[in-house]
Structure 1
Amino acid sequence: MNFFPSRTLALYMVKMFLIRVFSVAALLVVVLTSLDLLGQSGRIFAYPGNGEAELWTYTSLRTPQIIAFALPFSVLLGTLITLATLNQNSEVVSMKAGGLSAHQILAPLIIASMAVAIFSFLFNEVVVAPATARLSAWEKVEFGPIPETSDVRTRVWVRDGDNLVNAKTVIGTGSSVLLKDVTVYNRSENGLRSLMQGKEARFTGTDWTVTDVTRFDVATGTEEALDSVQIGNDLTPDQFTLSDVSADSLSYLNLRTAIKQLKEAGRPTAKLEASLYHKISGPLSVILMPLLGAVAAFGLARSGQLFLRAVIGMALGFMYFVADNFSLAMGNIGAYPPILAAWAPFLLFFLIGETVLVRTEE
């Protein structure tokens, strides 16, 4: 029952594992960031006035997303490199000769993976979610001036009966929400009757007051200026603030609050609930990597099957990522319950990893 019979051996394996994980992560981040920047630089420079500073801004906002994406793959590859190296140098044989079981050999790596999982979760909450929200807002304005307000939404479309309302910028929450650069498309029988543009709109409690309005009548071709116009008796503030909730742009607590508000407004939340659960199961997936890659650690290196074992371990790891994405897609369309969509791949591949390990080594 003593999973760490040697403190020196455990620290040696943890150090070896973490160095390889973060080395692979650094390599992947540099390569993926460079490729992404090459693909997006044209769009960034397309906005007048953008230059090198905007490239660095984009890099600072995009890199956290790439780190979060690459970290699970880095743990998988770091595991395979670590275990294959130990096997190649006959260190695994020495550990087993000293009385360690397969689970005892993997225990230091699993504990280190838990630390990486905690780091990944906190990094996603503190860095990735705000950076994603800011980058998304920047992309919606075609890499123009980035909105300064943190609770800003851009290019929101809402339907009001047959009419369509577009707000270029939505600021705030609740009854104090402010719409800027509002356009109202007044339609009747699938035809456009008039087009109304206003500087801003505020909620009065029953409807919306749009100020500095310019109204164009399609039938007569005339245009008139109005100080203010009342619109949207059936429009509520949450239709603008909750119309486009992005799970990737919100932290765990903020996403849970948004889901609660959507439920109170009678909106579907299954997709967001699956993403909420995945904010925990996703970082925890790195704990599976030592288990799935363990096949590379065992078997005699001189038998010539070390490469084949490493390939099998890599295949198991990538099969998990495929199953995880597939399960989330099924949850998004309502085929799987949210909690099953987020946790089923984790539990399935935990059992697969344990089965392979027990059947072959224990």
Structure 2
Amino acid sequence: MDFFPSRTLAIYMAKMFIIRTLAVLALLVLVLQALDLLGESGKIMAYEGNGEAELWTYVSLRAPQLIARFLPFSVLLGTIITLATLNQNSEVISMKAGGLSAHQILAPLIVTSMGVALLSFVFNETIVAPATARLSQWEKVEFGPIPAESNVRTNVWVKDGNNLINARTVTGRGNDVLLQDIAIYNRTENGLKSLMQGEEARFTGDGWRVTGVTQFDVGTGTEQKKAEVLTGDSIRPDQFTLTNVNADSLSIVALHTAIGELERAGRPTMGLKAGWWHKISGPMSSILMPLLGAVAAFGLARSGQLFLRAVIGMALGFAYFVADNFALAMGNIGAYPTLLAAWAPFMLFFLIGETVLIRTEE
């Protein structure tokens, strides 16, 4: 049960593993960020006044998403490269000859991947979630300037019967919600009846007080300007604040609060609950990667099957990511229970990895 019989060997393997993982991650993020920037730079520069500074802003917001998404892939590839190198140089043979079991050989990598998973969770909560929220807001205003408030929501649409209400920006919570640059489309079954545009709208308890109003009547073709109008007595403030809750854009604490608000408003929350659990199970996928890639460590390198073993390790790892994304998608639409959607792929591939390791090496 002594999983670290040699401190020197454990540090040596952990160092090899983390260096190769970071190298693979840096390469993936650099290439993918360059390709993504080439595709989005035209949209960013299309907004008048945007320049090089906005391109760097986009990179700073997009790079954390790429790091979070491809870190588990990098751990998988780092594992396979490390173990294949050790196998090819007969270092695995030396370890087994010294009395180490397959689990003892993998132990330094698994412990290191636990540290990676913890750092990944902290990184996702403190950097990725705010960057995702900011980038989403920026994209909705077509890469133009957005308000500096942290709780701003952009381009929010709400339906009230046949009518549609669009708010360019929404700030605040509860009855203190402020709508800015709003448009109210008063529709009938046959088409648009009138269009009302306003600068700001605040909830009064009995409706919405819209200021700086310009109202256009489609039937008569006339336009009227009014200082303020009271409208929308059936529209609740939470329809604007809870209409676009994105699990990726919120920290685990903020998402828990949003789920509670949605439940009190009678909204479905199964998809968000699956996303909440996935904020924990997602970073933990890094712990699985040494186990799934372990097949590359064993077998004789001179048998000519080292490449095949590395391919099998990659196939197991990528199969996990496919199963994880599928289960999360099923959880989002309510087809899977939330715990099953978040944890079933992790437990399934943990058992698969252990089975392969025990049957082939132990």
Normalising by structure 2, we get a TM-score of: 0.99
Cα drift, residue 180 of structure 1: 0.4
Structure-1 separation of matches of 2:255 and 2:338:
14
- The corresponding residue for 1:194 is 194
Is 1:336 the equivalent of 2:331? no
Structure 2: which amino acid aligns with 1:267? Answer: R
Partner SS state of residue 248, structure 1:
helix
Asked if residue 144 in structure 1 is aligned to residue 140 in structure 2, the reply is no
Residue identity opposite 1:189 in structure 2: E
Deviations 1:81-137 (A, max 9, x none): 000011001111111111111011101100000000000000000000111111111
Equivalence map 1:240-279=2 (5 Å): 240-279=240-279
Q: 1-side partners of 2:188 and 2:311: how far apart?
A: 62
Q: How far has the Cα of 1:190 moved from its partner?
A: 3.9
Aligned to 1:172: 172
Q: Which amino acid aligns with 2:150?
A: S
Whole-Å Cα distance in 2 between the matches of residues 221 and 27 of structure 1?
A: 59
CA–CA separation in structure 1 for the residues paired with 2:243 and 2:179 = 14
- The TM-score with structure 1 as length reference comes to 0.99
Please identify, of 341-350 and 218-227, the stretch whose mean Cα deviation from structure 2 is larger: 218-227
CA distance, structure 2, for counterparts of residue 316 and residue 189 of structure 1: 54
Q: CA deviation at 1:182?
A: 1.1
Letter in 2 for 1:68: A
Listed as ranges, the gaps of 5+ residues in structure 1 are none
Paired residue for 1:108? 108
Q: Which consecutive aligned stretches of 4+ in structure 1 deviate over 6 angstroms post-superposition?
A: none
| SS of structure 2 residue aligned to 1:227 | strand
Distance 2:200 2:251 in 1: 29
Equivalent-residue separation in structure 2 for 1:77 and 1:146 (angstroms): 39
Deviation digits for residues 242-274 of structure 1, max 9, x if unmatched? 000111110110011101100000000111111
Q: CA deviation at 1:228?
A: 1.1
1:138 touches 1:147 (CA, 8 Å); kept in 2? no
State the alpha-carbon separation in 2 of the partners of residues 231 and 354 from structure 1: 63
One-letter identity of the residue aligned with 1:102:
A
The number of residue pairs the alignment matches comes to 362
Q: Counterparts of 2:198 and 2:77 in 1: how far apart (Å)?
A: 55
- Cα deviation, 1:124-175, whole Å, max 9, x if unaligned, reads 0000011111111111111111321111011111111221111111011111
* C-alpha separation in 2, matches of 1:142 and 1:189: 31
1:71 alignment counterpart: 71
Contact 1:259 1:272 in 2 (8 A): yes
Listed as ranges, the gaps of 5+ residues in structure 2 are none
Aligned: 1:160 with 2:160: yes
* Range 213-222 or range 100-109, more displaced: 213-222
> Counterparts in 2 of 1:16-31, with a 5 A limit?
16-31=16-31
Q: Distance in 2 between matches of 1:329 and 1:68?
A: 18
| In the alignment, structure 1 residue 204 sits paired with structure 2 residue 222 | no
Question: 1:188 offset after TM fit, Å?
Answer: 2.2
Distance 1:10 1:83 in 2: 13
Question: Distance in 1 between the 2:345 and 2:224 partners?
Answer: 60
How far the C-alpha of 1:191 sits from its partner, in A, is 2.4
Q: Is the 1:137–1:147 Cα contact (8 Å) retained in structure 2? A: no
Deviation at 1:76, TM superposition (A): 0.2
Change (3 A) 1:342 1:190: farther
